[in-house]
């Protein structure tokens, strides 16, 4: 079973920042937080990952709380192409399978 | 650099027939994974190859499913005989082997094969 909890759906206006929350209260010390998304009819796409520190790349930012029990994925300027299901995943520090939960369906509104 | 490719993109077969799905990972990726999503359900892990060896096949639903990765390059997933409940989208993903620190590299997914069993 997935070890994360996410809201089933969210709306965000185009051009605004989309903030997607994730709870992972049982995360252990060697587990990373990963985010993937699946745009309709495509394969899942890696977005970002982190362990303790906040991370930023060209797609998004990841904010992890100090106790590591929750995190937030931030898409700074959402576009219609960001409409997708977003998955928050915790993975151990090895080449492990991904356990997908239900994710958050993000709707970007024009 | 080419991404993960899967063939065919769609397959429609009758119950009882055999189907073989193919996955070509990104060149140099030793990890290869198979996942599937059946209608209305979450994406589920099927199995994991490291090079040509099966590392974890705990997600394989039953012995009608056979995965191979001869030579550690492309992989095939055969379903024989296919049943109605096998319908869904089958995804393949690949990644590099983790480094000394054990960091799990991100997995790159293919576009999937949509299998319909009638």
- What pLDDT, on the 0 to 100 scale, is given for residue B99? 62
Per-residue pLDDT of A15-39, as tens digits, reads 999 999 999 999 988 889 999 999 9
Cis amide prior to B81 (ω within 30 degrees): yes
Section B55-63 average pLDDT: 94
User: How many CB pairs below 8 Å do chains A and B form together?
Assistant: 64
- What pLDDT, on the 0 to 100 scale, is given for residue B102? 63
Q: Of the candidates A38, A95, A97, which has its C-beta nearest B45's C-beta?
A: A97
Pairing type for strands B75-79 and B88-95 reads unpaired
Which residues of chain A, if any, have pLDDT below 50? Answer: none
A46 and B4: CB-CB below 8 Å?
Answer: no
Section B80-101 average pLDDT: 89
Classified as helix, coil or strand, B29 is coil
Q: Of the candidates A43, A96, A102, which has its C-beta nearest B110's C-beta?
A: A43
State the nearest Cα–Cα gap between A62 and chain B, in angstroms.
15
Question: Cα torsion at B14, B81, B48, A100 (round to 10°)?
Answer: 50
| In the predicted structure, residue B104 carries a pLDDT above the cut 80 | no
Identify the helix (H) or strand (E) that includes residue A14.
none
- What pLDDT, on the 0 to 100 scale, is given for residue B7? 98
A43 and B106: CB-CB below 8 Å?
Answer: no
Whole-number percent of chain B with pLDDT over 90: 85
If 0-12 CB within 10 Å is exposed, 13-18 middle and 19+ buried, where does residue B64 land? middle
- What pLDDT, on the 0 to 100 scale, is given for residue A95? 64
Q: Of the candidates B43, B91, B106, which has its C-beta nearest A46's C-beta?
A: B106
Q: Tell me which residues of chain A, numbers 54 to 83, contact chain B at a CB-CB cutoff of 8 Å.
A: none
Which residue does chain B place closest to A92, by CA atoms? B104
| In the predicted structure, residue B94 carries a pLDDT above the cut 80 | yes
- What pLDDT, on the 0 to 100 scale, is given for residue A3? 87
Which of the four pLDDT bands, split at 50, 70 and 90, describes residue B2? confident
A98 and B31: CB-CB below 8 Å?
Answer: no
Report how far residue A20's alpha carbon sits from residue A88's, in angstroms, rounded to the nearest whole number. 9
- What pLDDT, on the 0 to 100 scale, is given for residue A88? 97
| In the predicted structure, residue B98 carries a pLDDT above the cut 90 | no
- What pLDDT, on the 0 to 100 scale, is given for residue A96? 79
Distance of CA B61 to the CA centre of its chain: 13
| In the predicted structure, residue B100 carries a pLDDT above the cut 70 | no
Which residue does chain A place closest to B6, by CA atoms? A43
A95 and B98: CB-CB below 8 Å?
Answer: yes
- What pLDDT, on the 0 to 100 scale, is given for residue B86? 97
Q: Which residues of chain B neighbour A5 with C-beta distances below 8 Å?
A: none
- What pLDDT, on the 0 to 100 scale, is given for residue B97? 81
A91 and B104: CB-CB below 8 Å?
Answer: yes
Whole-number percent of chain B with pLDDT over 70: 96
């Amino acid at each position: 079973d997935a070890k994360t909890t996410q809201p089933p759906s969210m709306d965000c206006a185009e051009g605004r920042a989309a903030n997607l929350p994730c709870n992972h209260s049982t995360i252990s010390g060697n587990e990373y937080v990963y985010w993937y998304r699946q745009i309709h009819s495509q394969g899942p796409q890696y977005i970002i990952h982190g362990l303790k520190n906040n991370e930023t790349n060209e797609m998004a930012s990841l904010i992890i709380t100090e106790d590591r029990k929750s995190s937030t994925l931030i898409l700074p300027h959402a576009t219609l192409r960001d409409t997708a299901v977003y998955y928050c995943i915790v993975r151990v520090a090895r080449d492990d399978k991904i356990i997908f939960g239900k994710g958050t369906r993000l709707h970007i509104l024009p | 650099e080419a991404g993960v490719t899967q063939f065919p993109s769609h397959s429609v077969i009758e119950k009882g027939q055999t189907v073989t799905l193919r996955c070509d990972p990104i060149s140099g990726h030793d990890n290869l994974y198979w996942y599937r999503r059946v209608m209305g359900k979450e994406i589920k892990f099927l199995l994991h190859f490291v090079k040509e060896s099966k590392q974890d096949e705990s997600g394989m639903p039953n012995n009608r499913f056979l995965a191979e990765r001869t030579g550690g390059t492309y992989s095939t997933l055969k379903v024989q005989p296919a049943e109605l409940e096998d319908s869904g989208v089958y995804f393949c993903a690949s990644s590099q082997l983790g480094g000394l620190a054990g960091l799990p590299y991100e997995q790159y997914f293919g576009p999937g094969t949509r299998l319909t069993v009638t």
